[in-house]
């Protein structure tokens, strides 16, 4: 233990050391403030013309060997994408009021397990959604998998997981309660062009 004389200011703190702490506090939060404000100032919405082909690279988790691609065509006009949230393996498309996030996942052993895990993630998410009425589903392009209806407090939607070999496409469509039915044709049009390839 060291004994020392400490000269205090009016707040009972050591004199001459206040501003260095203030500068440090600003420095700590500077990166978070800088990047969040800059990110917000850049418009992240980009119109996606009808007929645009979108290709996603299947994400490869450590230990998951399967790689491949998922692709589909944007149906009709009025779609926009949130560019900041997009990844090589996932894209978010918005056709107000419906939001469709499509992901490509590699290394899948069992489509049903993947469906159940995706349903669990939606239950754990900020916007709690429950997958009900799970049933077999085959896309017009011949990809087989499962369809579940999503129900939440203020939102409803659909969870569709289809795949080929070790690669799967996961489509989560969400809209405010009672608004999805009007947009089902949009989702059907996406599914009508959805293709999966398990070749690298």
Residue number with CB closer to other proteins (62 or 178): 62
Give the x/- contact pattern for other proteins in 159-188, rule: CB under 8 A. ---------x--------------------
186, 96 contact by CB (below 8 A): no
Alpha carbon distance 30, 21 (integer Å) = 14
Residue 17 interacts with other proteins (CB under 8 A): yes or no: yes
Sign of CA dihedral 106, 109, 113, 115: positive
Sign of CA dihedral 103, 181, 154, 37: positive
Alpha carbon distance 129, 137 (integer Å) = 20
Alpha carbon distance 127, 154 (integer Å) = 9
Residue 127 interacts with other proteins (CB under 8 A): yes or no: no
Q: How far is the CB of 178 from other proteins (least distance, A)?
A: 29
Residue 108 interacts with other proteins (CB under 8 A): yes or no: yes
Q: Which stretch binds other proteins (CB under 8 A): 11-19, 139-147, 149-157, 186-194?
A: 11-19
At residue 105, the 3 state secondary structure works out as: strand
From 51, 88, 97, 192, residue interacting with other proteins (rule: CB under 8 A): 88
- Point out which residues bind other proteins (CB under 8 A): 1-10, 12-15, 17-18, 20-22, 24-25, 27-32, 34-36, 38-39, 42-44, 59, 61-64, 83-88, 105-110, 113-114, 117, 120-121, 124, 168
């Amino acid at each position: 233990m060291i004994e020392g004389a400490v000269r205090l200011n009016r707040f009972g703190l050591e004199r001459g050391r206040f501003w260095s702490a203030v500068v440090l506090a600003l420095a700590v939060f500077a990166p978070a403030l800088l990047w969040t404000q800059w990110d917000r100032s850049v418009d992240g919405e980009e119109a996606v013309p009808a007929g645009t082909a979108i290709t996603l690279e299947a994400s490869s988790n450590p230990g998951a060997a399967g790689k491949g691609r998922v692709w589909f065509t944007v149906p009709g006009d009025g779609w926009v994408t949130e560019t900041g949230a997009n990844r090589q393996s996932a894209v978010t498309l918005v056709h107000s009021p419906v939001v469709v996030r499509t992901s490509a996942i590699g290394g899948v052993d069992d489509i049903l397990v993947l469906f159940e895990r995706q349903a669990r993630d939606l239950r754990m998410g900020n916007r709690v959604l429950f997958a009900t009425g799970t049933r077999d589903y085959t896309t017009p392009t011949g990809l087989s998998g499962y369809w579940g209806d999503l129900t939440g407090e203020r939102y409803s939607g659909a969870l569709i997981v289809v795949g080929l070999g070790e690669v799967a496409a996961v489509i989560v469509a969400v809209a405010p309660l009672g608004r999805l039915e009007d947009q089902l044709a949009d989702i059907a049009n996406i599914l009508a062009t959805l293709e999966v390839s398990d070749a690298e």
